Amino acid sequence: MNDNFSKKYGQVFLKDHNIALKEVSFLSPEDNECILEIGPGHGILTEQLLKYNINLTVVEPDHRFVDQLNQSYNNFIKSGKLKIIKADFLKLAPGKYDKIIGNIPYQISSKIVFKILDYDFKMAILMVQKEFAQRLVASPGTPDYSRLTVNSGIRSQIKILYNVSRNSFYPVPKVDSSIILIEKREYNIDIKKFDLFLIKLFSMRRKKISSIIDYHGIYSDKRPYELTIDQLIEVYSQS
């Protein structure tokens, strides 16, 4: 295995094949589906995915892993079952896939999740840092409830499916991970404007809403982190 790990983005590599099987099982690939894998690395998920009758596209920025994948799965590439794109996923134009899967570098988890939400897809299975997963699914009134929770929650339904020990990775990170499910949901709001509103509110999350913005409705004495997503949308529409 290549020991030149990419530490720039907090990248570690899954070594537990049982966990890889579990991720792919959660994804539940169906015949002829178009599936996108983000950051395949050495191909521990790729190997399992190619056991299904699917059309698989993988996006990998590191030429070393691209070369390794080309050698390992040359027959699948020739048959058209596998397509390898050497690129930074964050720089690609959003596309359409049935399902998305990937083990995500810790330090760019937020950027990747929101990039994924720009794609047209049914569901995504991602491995992320456990603390990040908890922030995504946090409840109002808790310390983890944040702008991240609201922004992702307005555009998708997210669930934590399984927690994974740090010992399932190499090099062994200082934190555990979680497998999450993302399912897109419809929304009818200007996301960019709403995000600016959230930035203002959550920069002063412990202050009363009426002291942060010009709002005097039924939630004026509440603090931003105490409101549900629907309540925050209501405040936004009235401010």
Burial category of 143 from C-beta neighbours within 10 Å (exposed 0-12, middle 13-18, buried 19 and up): exposed
Q: Mapping DSSP to helix (H, G, I), strand (E, B) and coil, where does residue 234 land?
A: helix
Is 98 assigned a ligand-binding role in the annotation? no
Nearest to 124 by CA among 214, 33, 197, 51: 33
Is 60 assigned a ligand-binding role in the annotation? yes
Residue type, 69: L
- Sequence-distant contacts of 52-57: CB under 8 A, at least 24 apart: 52/24, 54/29, 54/30, 54/81, 55/80, 55/81, 55/83, 56/81, 56/82, 56/83, 57/82, 57/83, 57/84, 57/85, 57/97
Contacts of 134 (CB under 8 A, 6+ apart): 144, 160, 178
Is 181 assigned a ligand-binding role in the annotation? no
Nearest to 130 by CA among 166, 87, 180, 177: 177
Is 90 assigned a ligand-binding role in the annotation? no
Is 88 assigned a ligand-binding role in the annotation? yes
Annotated binding site for S-adenosyl-L-methionine: 14, 39, 60, 88, 103
Annotated binding site: 14, 39, 60, 88, 103
